[in-house]
Amino acid sequence: MVNPKNAPVKQWIKAAIACIAYILFIVWVGNFWWLFLLPVIFDIFVTKIIPWSAWRKIKNKPLYTLCSWLDAIIFALVAVYFVNLYLFQNFRIPSSSLEKSLLVGDFLLVSKVSYGPRVPITPLSLPLVQNTMPISGGKSYCDKVQWDYKRLAGLDTIKAMDIVVFNFPVGDTVAVKMENPDYYTLCQRYGRENVINNPSVFGEIIYRPVDRRENYVKRCVGLPGDSLQIIDNQIYVNGQKQHNPKGLQFNYFVETDGRKLSDQQFESMQISNDDRLLVNEWGSGQDILRYLGYKTNDNGLFNPVYYLPLTEDALAKMKKLPNVRSVSIDKDIFAQPMFPFGYKNWTRDNYGPVYIPRKGATVALDTANLPLYERIIKNYEGNDLRVDGNKIYINGHLADSYTFKMNYYWMMGDNRHNSADSRYWGFVPEDHIVGKPLFVWLSVDKDASLFSAIRWNRFFAPVDGFK
């Protein structure tokens, strides 16, 4: 133990700085129970009642080295854990849903301070692991303890066209052997009993808490209180046509004159290897081409027809290629069920209008519009919901309206014909918001090799620049 009077001035200065920073952090978090740890911080720098650095006096060199490594590792893990929890998080773009704005292989620095960091809902979890242990494959968290949703003060709020990282809303229930498509889509396709009773195919059915669900990244195209509609692939919010981001792309059928497109032509339009789909080679390709109205050539064969995602610039280039005969947009021939399942005849390209709930707003409720808000009422806001004929009961009381407890958002990808987004699974609750990507700190092209795989021109590219 060191007498405080004998402690060097620099130790007092360090203690003062650490204590002030810690108190400011506690005020930000709003959990004043943590003030009881102040004496520990003071002891580390000044009194040293607990011999925190006793290992430095070890004479045995191998043991000294081991302890020094453990000290550094423990400090680094704690520091990274708090940075990851309250300040910043790394995120890698795994799919093409935001291309060509964000690309597969982009690594993003995600700011949690921008919208306010979310206090952990599942506090007992392995740091830096989302939901599954890397080797064993088991759960990386214990959901026996669950805290209420709370978000700390942030620097900003979500704006229209922001790219946002969030927890997958319908990722609450997961078939571990088939996570894509989501559990609810699997039940719609194959029947709930079939999914539950076939673990060899679908795996164990598990529940994941809000903050342990998979991280997704999309563009916010609808804010709380907005009315959103999609007409012929164009988004309208509150009746106003919205700006289209530069990287926006749709899928097109491209027919050639008999000659295939070359690698150089694909590369000039930045079409990845995975996206170079030739319909003629599909198992049912001939039937699809016939259904689309393509005619066979003099040899009784169909000319090559590609199914490609194209931006506006790539579309203009494609139409000018000498071996391209026709280009037509995909009219949703591979139609998938829209959110909510079985509700109206909305499609991927013509959807809504739909009201995006705002905290404190009240909507009239009946069996006609209940499918839109049923998941919000039951799953996201924790009410008991029952329908008896044409009557709706919420928490045992007859209800003809509902007042929302949270804000909700509408998220979509820029790769509009190849994005599993709100059109398929609905609203994103505010308690699912993780953070705002700031910039690309690394970008790796999986179609290239060695140093050519690094997209140097994307280093530190600000995400706001992709609007």
Judged by phi (left if over 0) then psi (alpha if -120 to 50, else beta), residue 178 lies in beta
How many other CB atoms are there within 10 angstroms of residue 293's CB atom?
Answer: 7
Indicate which residue of 112, 218, 405, 436 is catalytic: 218
Indicate which residue of 97, 111, 422, 443 is catalytic: 97
CA angle 272, 273, 279 (to 5 degrees): 110
Number of H helices, E strands in the chain: 11, 23
CB 228 within 8 A of CB 354: yes
Own/partner pairs, 233-236, CB within 8 angstroms, 24+ separation: 233/329, 233/349, 233/416, 235/412
How many other CB atoms are there within 10 angstroms of residue 97's CB atom?
Answer: 23
How many other CB atoms are there within 10 angstroms of residue 163's CB atom?
Answer: 23
Strand partners, 118: 151
CB 41 within 8 A of CB 22: yes
Judged by phi (left if over 0) then psi (alpha if -120 to 50, else beta), residue 370 lies in alpha
Q: Integer distance in angstroms from the first to the last C-alpha of the chain?
A: 58
Strand partners, 443: 106
Judged by phi (left if over 0) then psi (alpha if -120 to 50, else beta), residue 171 lies in alpha
218 is catalytic: yes
**Measured CA distances, 133 to 165, 203, 230, 310 (Å):** 22, 17, 40, 38
CB 112 within 8 A of CB 435: yes
- Distance in angstroms (rounded) separating the CA atoms of residues 285 and 269: 24
5 is catalytic: no
In residues, how long is the chain? 467
Quote the distance between the C-alpha of residue 286 and its chain's center: 36
- Hey, which residues are catalytic here? 97, 218
